């Protein structure tokens, strides 16, 4: 079996409605998702969001078809809450999602 062909043929995308706009979430490889797992853990911390602007731009570029080629300048124009919501959508679709524990702290779970 050709593993590369298998992977290419089984990738899935998902259309979502985000604030009235249709976006296409892309299924990412394990290696790509692993790079962003730290970002998922820090999503609730606004200071961490500021320092992870480049990482969020990379995640949007990789995980949303319509954002392919997004520039750092364009990322800077997004309100922080929109960046947070978009990155959470990509992470959730790819098996990482921030969940609040009983005391309201964000935790990351797989699947």
Share of the chain above pLDDT 70, in %: 73
Average pLDDT over the chain reads 80
Half-sphere exposure of 73 (CA within 13 A, CB side): 0
Q: For the chain, which residues make up each domain, given as ranges?
A: 13-110
| Closest C-alpha among 72, 93, 75, 89 to residue 28 | 93
Q: Report pLDDT digits (tens) over 48-93.
A: 656 677 788 889 999 999 999 999 899 999 998 999 899 899 989 9
């Amino acid at each position: 079996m050709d593993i590369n062909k298998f992977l290419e043929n089984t990738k899935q995308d998902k259309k979502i409605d985000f604030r009235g706009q249709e976006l296409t979430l892309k299924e990412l490889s394990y290696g790509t998702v692993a790079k962003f797992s730290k970002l998922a853990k820090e999503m609730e911390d606004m200071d961490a969001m500021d320092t992870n602007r480049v990482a969020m731009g990379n995640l949007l570029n990789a995980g949303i078809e319509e954002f392919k080629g997004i520039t750092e300048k364009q990322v800077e124009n997004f309100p922080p809450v929109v960046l947070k919501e978009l990155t959470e959508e990509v992470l959730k679709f790819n098996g990482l999602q921030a969940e609040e524990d009983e005391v309201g702290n964000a935790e990351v779970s797989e699947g």
